[in-house]
Structure 1
Amino acid sequence: MAKVLLAGFGKLARALAPVLIEQGHHVIGLARSNITVSGVASIQWDLAEPPQSFLDSERATELSHLDYVVVTLSPDEISDDAYRRAYVDATSNLLAILQAQELSPKIIYVSSTRVYAHNDGEWVDESSPTLPTTSKGQSLLEAEQLIRQQSSDNIVVRFSGIYGSERNYFKKRVEAGIKIQKRPAQFSNRIHQEDCIGVLNFLIAQFEKGARLDPLLLASDDDPAPLLEVANHIAQNFNYPKPTIIINDGDLAPVGKRCRNDKLKSLGYRFRYPSFRDGYQA
């Protein structure tokens, strides 16, 4: 089967690795800290460091022929500089390492719908313009461009808000009591972590079949819903306090965007949790 490098070994990679191993793939994890997941060969390295330092180290010999690289990077803190290090610098360094070692795997790069600037309830898809209004969004988009420029075979996958498993930020906010704007409605886009893993595994399987895939995919569930609707569902199902409603009639309050997943579903992917109702119920 295939040899897969998981560059960045956070929550997504830790969940993806056993799925790939069960299918017979050889999995290597590259991360800032040591990896102790059964069956995963570990390379400890910070991709934000200069690539020549890696190439001069013994770790370079641990990389040989690679079929695929799944990139799931994350910053070590929430700041503009940390985002640039984690996405732009680390991505550039990873590509330099692969080139120096004459490795040409297909790359699946995990990005975010944060690259869209839309904030008036518009529908967005892969053809929508990307004009991020923050430095963090700009770093994400710049890293995407590096990946896409490196090879037309590479794929960028933009996930919307990931929830489920260890990701309970919004659920905890509802539990603590939350205020949410009702009018105009604020839209929220979500994808369950198990579907994130499902999408990445699905794309590798498509590559293995020899499929030619689009270089950009948006991965979000079928149900971009008002945030108040999501919060009410969580409160009702977990016996949390009902959200406090805010009404801003006439104000130009941001209402977010709505993400389409038509292209991903046209490839044959079927969501395990097509709506937040299914995901939170599970």
Structure 2
Amino acid sequence: MAEEPHHPVGPGERALIAGCGRIGQALGERLAAAGAEVFGLRRRPEGLPAAITPIAADLAEPAALAAALPAPLDTVYYIVTPATFDDEGYRRAFVDGLGNLAAALRGQPRPPRRLVFVSSTAVYGQSAGEWIDEASPTEPGRFSGQRLLEAEAIALGGPWAGVAVRYGGIYGPGRDALIRKAQAGEPCQADQYTNRIHAEDVVASLAHLGRPAVAPGVYLGVDSAPATQCEVLDFIAERLGLPQPPRAEAGGAGGRGVGSKRGSNRKLRESGYTFRYPTFREGYAALLGGPGA
């Protein structure tokens, strides 16, 4: 019988999700449904789904963190959100937090077999529409990418199979910034490429990358259709029956200043992952409903 391609961490496995927010909770429920014992680590873990065992711990407090961790663990996911969007916030969340967790895991009798770190395309400094993949230079000009690269080194440098997955812009239920932008009639950047991935594919790809059969290393988590900001907003506006969004001047107020690049997901697909929403068109059609959804 052929193996189901997205079969995640399975029966008898013990998985820890550090930073168990919206994505982490959906992932935890998916792993638990496959038979894994799942632990969710947060400072205040009340309210986690019943399938996830809560672990109350602070990633900034090494001694208490080490004492709170269950053992042994097979797979660890690190999916945190910085408390503040500045250099200090990113250093605390990614470099210090992951460093403390890695030290605690190293101190266990048996380290986990795999650690999966959620990173971002912010690690790339390309800004002229270049194609990028896992082998492309990572020379970020902003603190966010710099701190994420430091954290990737921690994730990839332990006594476990390390995975760093660099996700593009995540959209889905509750993540509708571009829909609201189209509804407001805001201008778009015709020359700025954006890389997107539906939240459901984020969860499913994380489960996939936690599998022992998938090679460790760096992966780019974007869908199969990098597109300009205007291409995406035009599609959304058409689905909603709205006028085409106005075009901003190149480099003008309609841009976010985060760079323009086109990501290739070839490595992720060749690892055996199949996208539920291969492009932004299928993903936004499902969100917006109507014909073809």
TM-score, normalised with respect to structure 1? 0.90
* Aligned partner of residue 155 in structure 2, secondary structure: helix
Counterpart selection for 1:276 from 263, 273, 280? 280
* Aligned partner of residue 258 in structure 1, secondary structure: strand
In 2, distance between residues paired with 1:212 and 1:20? 16
Is 1:76 the equivalent of 2:83? yes
Is 1:44 the equivalent of 2:59? no
C-alpha RMSD over aligned residues? 1.7
CA shift for structure 1 position 203: 2.0
CA shift for structure 1 position 103: 3.7
In 2, distance between residues paired with 1:96 and 1:247? 49
* Aligned partner of residue 161 in structure 2, secondary structure: coil
* Aligned partner of residue 111 in structure 1, secondary structure: strand
Count of aligned residue pairs for this structure pair:
268
CA shift for structure 1 position 229: 0.7
Question: What's 2:15 paired with?
Answer: 4
Question: What's 2:6 paired with?
Answer: none
* Aligned partner of residue 143 in structure 1, secondary structure: helix
Question: What's 2:94 paired with?
Answer: 87
Question: What's 1:196 paired with?
Answer: 202
In 2, distance between residues paired with 1:227 and 1:107? 33
Q: Which moved more, 1:229-238 or 1:148-157?
A: 148-157
Counterpart selection for 1:32 from 21, 43, 47? 43
**Could you say if the C-alpha distance between residues 248 and 7 of structure 1 is closer, same or farther in structure 2, counting changes exceeding 3 Å?**
closer
Query: Which stretches of structure 1, 4 residues or more, deviate above 6 A after TM superposition?
Result: none
Query: Where does structure 2 lack aligned partners over 5 or more consecutive residues?
Result: 1-10, 287-293
Is 1:133 the equivalent of 2:135? no
Question: What's 1:245 paired with?
Answer: 247
In 2, distance between residues paired with 1:26 and 1:53? 22
In 2, distance between residues paired with 1:98 and 1:35? 24
In 1, distance between residues paired with 2:230 and 2:274? 26
* Aligned partner of residue 17 in structure 2, secondary structure: strand
Deviations 1:138-161 (A, max 9, x none): 111100011111146111111111
Q: Which moved more, 1:223-232 or 1:237-246?
A: 237-246
Does the CA contact (< 8 Å) of 1:180 and 1:244 recur in 2?
A: yes
Counterpart selection for 1:261 from 257, 262, 265? 265
Aligned residues with identical type, % of pairs: 38
Is 1:102 the equivalent of 2:109? yes
Is 1:217 the equivalent of 2:219? yes
The residue identity in structure 2 corresponding to 1:30 is: L
CA shift for structure 1 position 240: 3.8
* Aligned partner of residue 150 in structure 1, secondary structure: coil
In 2, distance between residues paired with 1:228 and 1:88? 35
TM-score, normalised with respect to structure 2? 0.87
The residue identity in structure 2 corresponding to 1:43 is: I
* Aligned partner of residue 17 in structure 1, secondary structure: helix
Deviations 1:103-160 (A, max 9, x none): 4111011100110000011000000010110111111110001111114611111111
Query: Where does structure 1 lack aligned partners over 5 or more consecutive residues?
Result: none
Does the CA contact (< 8 Å) of 1:152 and 1:215 recur in 2?
A: no
Deviations 1:203-225 (A, max 9, x none): 23x31xxx250411111100001
Question: What's 1:236 paired with?
Answer: 238
The residue identity in structure 1 corresponding to 2:207 is: N
Does the CA contact (< 8 Å) of 2:57 and 2:64 recur in 1?
A: no
In 2, distance between residues paired with 1:140 and 1:92? 12
CA shift for structure 1 position 241: 4.5
